[in-house]
């Protein structure tokens, strides 16, 4: 059931984002009297699930039809609206079967359709190639602009409707959970991080983002014994933590919890641990907090650990081998944390929500671009995920707050990815248009065609690689 809930959220989110993105191209194209031949949610190779177009002044709907002039069975008619003009009548609207995105096909434009037959004919006034470069530029950046504005708009609405969690670090009684790797720099579970680079901490995620993505090096720390100290982390600490798998490095502390799932063929499964077991101690160290489990396993990585668990009324001892990342292959469900009173829900009026939403949007964009540097490491390349990874960003239960938070994030990611100067993406078209505006010369038609082929090949290779990573992780968790 969790799979289907996540899948439904993913499809709904992508549908909203793709439709609005394509309208970002469609609307300026129509304003500049450019013919839009097709508008599709999802791709439709060979056939479409449903398509609408006008035949002799009347709307006609076709289910499971190809994209030619002929329609198939189950056709239905919708009365024509008086306000619609000739351009609207020429646009084919549809839903494809391949949920990898969507597209608008603009007449006279070199795009993923590679319709070279049309381009071989003399240019018409209503074609994309006949329009001034500045109009074509606006049409091309329309989708990216919509995604960026949409992401910020959603954040504004979230701030107004839900507010946001605010941490009071001075009120933490149990302190933070800290990844054991940071012990080499004098940071331990139970410590509080009060400031980063002189700025007061108001959210745990800001600590992780500050260290990993915003060059947060100077930390004001209150240790478990009450002593305050300034700890300066070294340059490159973000790469170090990433390579060691020590992220997120900070979090709120949770009480010890019971095992919820066992991964097949992992150490926990091999020694006989079961769902419902509660870990009491590891190597004779009592487990009080959930992060104690991580800490004691991490200290035993590559070796066998003595794990005492409670199963019903029995106390049992197991000796699983801990892998090099300090794990044995089980999962837990965490529903609460120790210092509930240290986290307050802060609500905003409409004016404050606008400022907070805009700030959240641009911080999200900045953090996302900053984390791309990890892609160029060996671990980063193997961590790239496809639709499975995106789907796992959604919660296993339907939660509108989290749904819109994730949708806003994906919208901003789509804006950034689409503006990259890669042929076949919006950014690739923008590069050629800027070249034309600077030099006064259009790029040769053949160059545009070959660039489109190269870009399409690169994108498909990335899609296959990313989704292949998802498949491998699913088959060999």
| Position 344 in a domain | no
| Position 243 in a domain | yes
| Position 212 in a domain | yes
Domain check: are 214 and 198 in the same one?
Answer: yes
d(CA 398, CA 249): 28
Give a three-class secondary structure readout of 189-225.
CCCEEEEECCEECCCHHHHHHHHHHCCCCEEEEECCC
CA dihedral defined by 452, 454, 455, 461, rounded to 10 degrees?
140
Whole-number Cα distances in Å, 123 to 7, 127, 340: 44, 7, 66
Number of domains in the chain: 3
Q: Report which secondary-structure segment, H or E, holds 119.
A: helix 116-119
Mean pLDDT per 10-residue interval, the chain, length 477 residues: 88 94 94 91 86 74 65 40 43 86 85 64 82 93 96 97 84 89 93 92 87 92 92 93 88 88 90 93 93 91 93 93 90 81 87 95 92 79 78 88 95 93 86 88 81 82 80 72
| Position 118 in a domain | yes
With 0.75 as the threshold, say if the pTM is over it: yes
* Residue 232: partners with Cβ closer than 8 Å, 6 or more residues away: 217, 218, 219
d(CA 425, CA 452): 9
Which of residues 332, 351, 366 is at a domain's end?
332
Which of residues 315, 332, 349 is at a domain's end?
332
d(CA 345, CA 152): 20
Domain check: are 10 and 147 in the same one?
Answer: yes
d(CA 275, CA 260): 5
| Position 454 in a domain | yes
User: Which domain, by its residues, includes 184?
Assistant: 169-252
d(CA 266, CA 476): 10
Place of tokens 């000739």: 86
| Position 48 in a domain | yes
| Position 179 in a domain | yes
Query: What are the beta bridge partners of residue 317?
Result: 308
- pLDDT at position 184: 93
The CATH number of residue 179's host domain is: 2.30.42
Domain check: are 217 and 292 in the same one?
Answer: no
| Position 280 in a domain | yes
- pLDDT at position 315: 94
Which of residues 195, 229, 252 is at a domain's end?
252
């Amino acid at each position: 059931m969790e799979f289907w809930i996540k899948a439904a959220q993913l499809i709904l989110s992508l549908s909203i984002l793709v439709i609005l993105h394509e309208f970002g191209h469609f609307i300026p194209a129509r304003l500049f009297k450019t013919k839009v031949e097709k508008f599709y949610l999802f791709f439709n190779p060979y056939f479409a699930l449903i398509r609408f177009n006008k035949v002799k002044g009347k709307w006609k709907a076709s289910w499971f039809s190809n994209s030619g002039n002929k329609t198939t069975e189950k056709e239905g008619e919708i009365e024509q609206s008086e306000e619609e003009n000739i351009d609207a009548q020429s646009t084919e609207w549809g839903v494809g079967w391949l949920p990898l995105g969507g597209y608008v096909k603009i007449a006279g434009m070199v795009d993923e359709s590679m319709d070279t037959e049309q381009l071989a004919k003399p240019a018409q006034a209503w074609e994309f190639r006949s329009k001034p470069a500045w109009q074509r530029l606006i049409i091309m950046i329309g989708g990216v602009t919509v995604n960026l504005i949409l992401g910020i708009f959603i954040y504004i609405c979230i701030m107004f409707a839900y507010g946001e969690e605010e941490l009071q670090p001075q009120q933490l009684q149990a302190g933070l959970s800290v990844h054991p790797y940071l012990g080499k720099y004098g940071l331990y579970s139970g410590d509080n991080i009060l400031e980063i680079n002189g700025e007061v901490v108001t959210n745990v995620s800001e600590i992780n983002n500050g260290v990993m993505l915003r060059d947060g090096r100077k930390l004001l720390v209150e240790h478990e014994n009450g002593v305050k100290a300034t700890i300066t982390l070294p340059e490159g600490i973000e790469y170090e933590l990433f390579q060691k798998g020590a992220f997120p490095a900070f979090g709120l502390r949770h009480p010890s919890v019971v095992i919820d799932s066992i991964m097949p063929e992992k150490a926990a499964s091999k020694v006989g641990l079961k769902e419902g077991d509660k870990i009491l101690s590891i190597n004779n160290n009592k487990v009080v907090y959930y992060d104690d489990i991580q800490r004691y396993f991490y200290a035993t990585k590559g070796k066998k650990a003595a794990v005492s668990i409670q199963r019903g009324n029995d106390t049992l001892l197991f000796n699983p081998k801990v892998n090099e990342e300090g794990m044995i292959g089980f999962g837990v469900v965490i529903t609460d944390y120790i210092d509930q009173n240290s986290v307050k829900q802060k609500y905003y009026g409409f004016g404050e929500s606008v400022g907070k939403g805009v700030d959240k949007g641009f911080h999200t964009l900045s953090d996302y671009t900053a984390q791309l540097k990890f892609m160029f490491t060996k671990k980063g390349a193997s961590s790239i995920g496809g639709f499975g990874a995106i789907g796992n960003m959604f919660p296993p239960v339907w939660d509108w707050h989290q749904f819109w938070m994730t949708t806003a994030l994906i919208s901003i990611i789509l804006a950034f990815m689409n503006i990259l100067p890669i042929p076949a993406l919006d950014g690739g078209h923008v590069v050629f248009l800027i070249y034309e505006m600077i030099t006064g010369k259009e790029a040769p038609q053949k160059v545009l065609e070959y660039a489109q082929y190269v870009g399409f090949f690169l994108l498909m290779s990335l899609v296959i690689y990313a989704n292949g990573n998802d498949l491998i992780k699913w088959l060999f968790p």
